[in-house]
Amino acid sequence: MSIIADDNDFKAEKNIKSDMVKPESIEFDRNFENTIRPKSFESYIGQTALKETLKISVEAAKKRSQPLDHLLFYGPPGLGKTTLAGVIAEQMGVDIKITSAPALERPRDIIGILMSLKGGEILFIDEIHRLNKIAEEILYPAMEDFYLDMTTGKSQTVKTLRIPLPKFTLIGATTKAGALSGPLRDRFGIIHRLEFYGADELAQVVKRTAGILNIEITDEAANRIAKRSRGTPRIANRLVKRVSDYALVKYDGKITKDIADEALDILKIDNWGLDNTDRSLLKLIIEKYDGGPVGIETIAAALGEDARTIEDVCEPYLLQAGLLQRTPRGRKVSPAGYKHLGFKVQNLQQSLFE
Beta bridge partners of 174: 74
Given candidates 71, 79, 171, 300, which one binds ligand ADP under the rule CB under 6 A? 79
Least distance (Å) from ligand ADP to the CB of residue 130? 14
Catalytic site residue 64? no
Catalytic site residue 81? yes
The 177-196 contact track toward ligand ADP, x by CB under 6 A, reads --------------------
Of 304, 297, 305, 295, the C-alpha closest to 332 is 295
H-run or E-run covering 247: helix 233-250
Is residue 173 at the binding interface for ligand ADP, with CB under 6 A as the rule?
yes
Given candidates 17, 20, 21, 38, which one binds ligand ADP under the rule CB under 6 A? 38
Distance in angstroms (rounded) separating the CA atoms of residues 222 and 260: 8
Of 265, 266, 241, 272, the C-alpha closest to 255 is 241
Show Cβ contacts of residue 219 under 8 Å, excluding neighbours closer than 6 positions. 203, 207
DSSP 74: E
Residues between 195 and 214 with contacts to ligand ADP, criterion CB under 6 A: 205
Is residue 45 at the binding interface for ligand ADP, with CB under 6 A as the rule?
yes
Least distance (Å) from ligand ADP to the CB of residue 46? 5
One-letter identity of residue 324: L
Of 95, 125, 115, 98, the C-alpha closest to 165 is 115
Q: Per CB under 6 A, which region of 42-50, 148-156, 163-171, 285-293 contacts ligand ADP?
A: 42-50
Query: Residues in contact with ligand ADP, total (CB under 6 A)?
Result: 20
Q: Tell me the residue nearest to ligand ADP as measured from the CB.
A: 80
Least distance (Å) from ligand ADP to the CB of residue 135? 20
Catalytic site residue 82? yes
Query: In the Cβ-directed half-sphere of 205, how many Cα atoms lie within 13 Å?
Result: 35
Residues that bind ligand ADP (CB under 6 A): 33, 36-38, 44-47, 77-83, 173, 205, 233-234, 237
